[in-house]
Amino acid sequence: MSHNSFGHLFRVTSWGESHGPAIGCVVDGCPPGLKLTEADIQPWLDRRRPGQSKFTTQRQEPDSVRILSGVFEGQTTGTPIALHIDNVDQRSRDYGAIAEQFRPGHADLTYDLKYGVRDYRGGGRASARETATRVAAGAIARLILGRVRIRGALVQMGPHGIDRARWDWAETERNPFWCPDPVAAASWETYLSDVRKRGSSCGAVIELVADFVPAGLGAPIYAKLDADLAGALMSINAVKAVEIGDGLASAALSGEDNADEMRMRDGEVTFASNHAGGILGGISTGQPIVARFAVKPTSSILAPRQSVDRQGHDVDVVTKGRHDPCVGIRAVPVGEAMLACVLADHLLRDRAQNSGRRGGNT
């Protein structure tokens, strides 16, 4: 990853600020001959779109994507695909106060220290609005991945986890939280309503699962699949932790318990467990890829916090404006997109080096 680009062969370069005229990205390296129209991208953007329930920011952005290049007569041509999303509902007036003040937990201070100048409107470049371009790029990545299935779920909201015995993927489409546990979803509704009314916020943990990933993806040592995935997920706004497979919990396991035992079944290697999260030595095993990431509570809250301003005065900051009480909810489709992009990139990389060999992914 390099400044505003990520990926090596499937390479995404994003641009745009929260309150500029538009945001967008350039997707380079996409194979030719894939069927692609805006209709293949828009549904994924709609999942991330704000203003869809009372639990996300009330900013109304249609997030209509336009393909400006790289597609001809409905097919990708192998040239860079420019994706463009106009900003519609900017309302910059909400943010005038933060031009001079540094909101705790936000990037205001650090952008100012680093660059000496920043577009403070709505968080500028540091706004979660940028993640729309990731979702758009991820939609193209999915086309490359063919039958690979990528799904995400919220498995913890604030301090409240789910009961994994009740996990039902279909449930994630039925509640506004992408929660796979209907009982937890119901209780979260009450919890988050209260958080929202108090002008407070909470964090979340998201779990991503990719099924049907071919074995052999990942390029050790410094482009391990899990390393690239960790970087990609950590680059999402507000993410503070990334786990692969058993993650932190694996530290407490014994070697015996952690071993994913193997047996042949119908001529295929099968595993008795998946503590590894589908990755060994940085390379996919063919098992489902499992990753989790933790999102901190939204930093924009109504309760006044101590801070300083650009002139070096102590101030108390109250963040008004429209915000997500739990920004982790909308991080679900973003995480899915990043996983898709990483896998697509590694599929192409593996094809380059290993095509035609045992395990090569053509």
Residues of span 234-293 touching a copy of itself by CB under 8 A: 234-235, 237, 239-248, 250-264, 267, 269, 272, 275-277, 279-286
The count of other CB atoms within 10 Å of the CB of residue 205 is 20
Alpha carbon distance 217, 170 (integer Å): 28
Interaction pattern, residues 22-61, with a copy of itself; x per rule: CB under 8 A: xxx-x-xxxxxx----------------------------
Q: Which of 37, 68, 163, 212 binds a copy of itself (CB under 8 A)?
A: 68
Q: Which of 47, 106, 142, 151 binds a copy of itself (CB under 8 A)?
A: 106
Q: Does 115 bind a copy of itself (CB under 8 A)?
A: yes
Alpha carbon distance 185, 180 (integer Å): 8
Q: Does 70 bind a copy of itself (CB under 8 A)?
A: yes
Distances (CA, A) of 225 to 296, 300, 325: 24, 33, 32
Q: Does 82 bind a copy of itself (CB under 8 A)?
A: yes
Q: Does 20 bind a copy of itself (CB under 8 A)?
A: yes
Query: 147 or 170, CB closer to a copy of itself?
Result: 147
Judged by CB under 8 A, how many residues of this single chain contact a copy of itself? 159
Nearest approach in angstroms of CB 41 to a copy of itself is: 16
Distances (CA, A) of 210 to 205, 284, 291, 338: 17, 11, 9, 12
Q: Does 165 bind a copy of itself (CB under 8 A)?
A: no
According to CB under 8 A, which residues from 309 to 348 bind a copy of itself?
A: 312-314, 328, 348
Q: Does 88 bind a copy of itself (CB under 8 A)?
A: no
Residue 236: closest CA among 275, 195, 200, 208? 208
| Residue 288, SS3 per DSSP | coil
Nearest approach in angstroms of CB 324 to a copy of itself is: 11
* Residues 85/22, Cβ–Cβ less than 8 Å: yes
Q: Which of 230, 289, 332, 339 binds a copy of itself (CB under 8 A)?
A: 230
Distances (CA, A) of 58 to 115, 144, 256, 273, 325: 30, 34, 50, 43, 11
Task: Name the strand (E) or helix (H) holding 40.
Answer: helix 38-48
According to CB under 8 A, which residues from 207 to 226 bind a copy of itself?
A: 215-224, 226
Nearest approach in angstroms of CB 17 to a copy of itself is: 6
Q: Does 118 bind a copy of itself (CB under 8 A)?
A: yes
Q: DSSP labels for 102-144? A: --TTSSHHHHHHHHS----GGGGGGSGGGHHHHHHHHHHHHHH
Task: Name the strand (E) or helix (H) holding 231.
Answer: helix 225-234
